[in-house]
Structure 1
Amino acid sequence: MTLLNSDRRVAWLLGIAGLLPFIGASVLAWWAPAVWQVTAIYGFTYYSAVILSFLGGVHWGSALQVPRPGNTRRLLLAMVPSLIAWPALLFDIVTGLWVLLAGFMLIGGYDLSREGREGFPSWYFKLRGLLSVVVVLLHCVVLLRLSG
């Protein structure tokens, strides 16, 4: 099943729009009044955990969509982002952000693997690659703010 061009455009627009909370919170973490900076950093962290969990759900859905060898493994691996994201919220904020950053890098690596690419159109990985790079860089921006 392939998406229509209009569906592909919507997927790209929604993906890019999904960066807005990351971008907004990163900006606020640096330049907002102190009270808002704290809220922005926590908001960034919570949103990060939600999105990381969502990425695992993408692979869960893919494994259920088309029966193929290795689906059991893929279903198990699809749980890993949630199992990284949830405990990250229990750590102190800096440790949690490092854990989330590692989680995004791990799921990005899995997305690039042969198994991770199965069932997805090639354009999806251009979108995921762009989104992953921006999200990782924004984690670094917020971590830099916390180190200063």
Structure 2
Amino acid sequence: MLSGKKVATLPWLLGIAGLIPFVGLAGVVVLSLPGWQGIALQAFLYYSAVILSFLGGIHWGVAMSLDHESSHHFSSRMVVAMAPSLLAWPALMLSPQFSLLALMTGFLLIRLYEAQSDSVERLPAWYTSLRTLLTVVVVVSHLSILLLLMLA
């Protein structure tokens, strides 16, 4: 999975397991009958919002445990920690297309933030590879549903 980096098996297993609802629900939306599509789409959006909010919580914990309260890193990370929830919650009140776009954008933005050097320094070495993989699958899942809705 990783070249030259220590692999943390449990986070990888849990991360991959966390993809099951994204991939499974996207599959149901894309491949099933209309009645099931609506239920699966709603479940997908709710799960996406919950997981995006969870990613913010990771950075809240990083700020509390690794940054001094008076530092710029602490302040900026605390603001970033709140942003996913403040994006995810109202996204659930939008049309499905805009909700998918908003949530997908949130996943991409938090991943870009995590790729910055000050984040990389504060996160475990295995985290970057895991989050990159998870983000790619999550974004592709959002895009597959979005494409279906745009073509319908």
TM-score by length of 2: 0.89
Q: Which residue of 2 aligns with 1:113?
A: 116
Shift of 1:21: 0.2
Q: Which residue of 1 aligns with 2:130?
A: 127
Q: Which residue of 2 aligns with 1:9?
A: 9
Q: Which residue of 1 aligns with 2:36?
A: 36
Structural mapping, 1:48-127, within 5 Å = 48-68=48-68, 69=71, 70-127=73-130
Larger RCO: Structure 1 or Structure 2 (Cα < 8 Å, ≥ 6 residues apart)? 2
Between the aligned partners of 2:30 and 2:77, the Cα distance in structure 1 is 39
Number of residue pairs matched by the alignment: 143
Does 2:150 align with 1:143?
no
Q: Which residue of 1 aligns with 2:3?
A: none
**Structure 1: 5+ residue runs without aligned partners?**
none
Question: Any idea what SS the aligned residue of 2:122 has?
Answer: coil
| 1:15-65 deviations in Å (ceiling 9; x for gaps) | 000000000111101222211111111111111111000000000011111
Q: Which runs of 4+ in 1 moved over 4 A?
A: none
Shift of 1:118: 3.3
Between the aligned partners of 1:82 and 1:118, the Cα distance in structure 2 is 24
Report the identity percentage.
45
Greater shift, 126-135 or 24-33, is seen at 24-33
